[in-house]
Structure 1
């Protein structure tokens, strides 16, 4: 989701910078995960409702 705001380290212990434009999707990263969970549950609920309606046809 969001990028860590520091250099990453790979297996050879070489540092490389964050890609250009690597910013958080939402400015508040502690809110980002609950929003994704709520959106996933909402989509799953809507799909279930519509699937039941189409089964009746």
Structure 2
């Protein structure tokens, strides 16, 4: 896994060394929170945020 999808990380995703990338941007997180809040107030569906996977 990588954070913020650097060029090296995206290459690793393509060749199978990494399985995922995540965004860690305060701007993106805040924008998503506001967008989801407005959607919920309008009684629209929003995607659930999955809890982190924790290996057994």
TM-score by length of 2: 0.36
TM-score by length of 1: 0.35
